[in-house]
Amino acid sequence: MNRRTFLAATAATQLASTLPRAQAATLPIKKAILYGMLPKQMPLLDRFQMAREIGFEQMECPQIDDPAEAEAIKKAADQAKLPIHSVMNGDHWRFPLNSNDPEVVAKSMKAMRTSLGNAKLWGAETVLLVPAVVSPDHSYAEAYKRSQARIRELIPMAAEYKVVIAVEEVWNKFLLSPLEFARYVDEFNSPWVKAYFDVGNIVLFAYPQDWIRTLGKRIVKLHFKDFKFQQNRETRKREAEFVNLGEGEIDWKAIHAALAEIGYRGTATVELAGGDRAYLADVSKRVDKILAGA
């Protein structure tokens, strides 16, 4: 580089540093809230209407066993014009699919069929499923093989109802790397089994933005939560505490960049503690800030 080239390059760098940085584009992601976060003392319709009024576009509801209650939820969602986009299966922890007890497995399969039925009734796109729970009595290898076998039994029903079984990574000591999670989903070779990615569940031991890039188009839905770490003075162990979005240690700008990179256009559901209208309205604004890359 000669002197003239060097001076030109230096001037260009200085000019660039004085220009305002381009703002990140707002992600085309729908905002949703968990049904359980809404004030339980409010009438059902009022809960749905409030969620819509404070900016949420969709709802994620739990598995509902009572047909009358399920119908009431559908009516409230329709009247409030707040679609239910996903169903959270309710029994995958109590009755894991990978159990070696046939009665436990039968209960787990029944719960999934109920969840798929809820999804069909409500017009939801997905059912969230924790696929297995590894424990001293249930090995990792068994969890992998058994859970896949039982999910395959559910695929015909999912296909008939046009509802995706969305496998979530969570603190179940299973699917502990993004490469394995991707392989697990791919091995079904079915459009009716995809990944439900929880940003907060990963941050305890990995980087969620890395998982997002690895899972890519396999991700059908997202959960947003945040954590703050602190040292327990007595045990000297690093412990995690749930906090509001943006108050923890998750690098939300890195999350924004990763989601933009993979072209994610689905829904992000907030999974936090519940509260009153003012608190939930603030949560809604925090999601807006994350999606804007601010």
User: Do 269 and 32 meet the contact criterion of CB atoms below 8 Å apart?
Assistant: yes
Q: What is the pLDDT of residues 70-92, one digit of tens each?
A: 999 999 999 999 999 999 999 99
**Beta strand 164-168 pairing with 267-270:** unpaired
Residues 6+ apart with CB under 8 A from 158: 116, 127, 164, 165, 192, 193
Cβ(278)–Cβ(286) below 8 Å: no
Tell me the C-alpha distance between 102 and 150, whole Å.
12
What pLDDT does residue 23 have?
A: 64
pLDDT tens, 244-270?
999 998 999 999 999 999 999 999 999
Tokens 């969890």 correspond to what residue?
A: 143
Q: Which pLDDT tens digit goes with each residue over 144-161?
A: 999 999 999 999 999 999
The percentage of the chain sitting over the pLDDT mark of 90, rounded to a whole number, equals: 83
Task: Identify the residue whose tokens are 């969709």.
Answer: 58
Which among 251, 227, 250 has a CA at the least distance from the CA of 239? 227
**Residue 237's CB: how many other CB atoms inside 10 A?**
9
The per-residue pLDDT for range 160-217, each reduced to its tens digit, is: 999 999 999 998 999 999 999 999 999 999 999 999 999 999 888 899 999 999 999 9
Alpha helix (H) residue ranges in 162-207:
178-186, 199-202
Confirm if 122 and 144 have CB atoms less than 8 A apart.
no
Within 8 A by CB and 6+ apart from 280, the residues are 33, 37, 38, 50, 51, 54, 274
Closest-CA residue to 90 (of 76, 77, 69): 69
User: What is the torsional sign of CA 95, 101, 105, 111?
Assistant: negative
pLDDT in tens, 95-139: 999 999 999 999 999 999 999 999 999 999 999 999 999 999 999
Q: Which residue reads 């992600």 in tokens?
A: 27
Q: What is the DSSP code string of 53-81?
A: HTT--EEEEE----HHHHHHHHHHHHHHT
Expressed in percent and rounded to 5, the helix, strand and coil fractions of the chain are 45, 20, 35
Q: Which residues pair with 60 in a beta bridge?
A: 34, 86
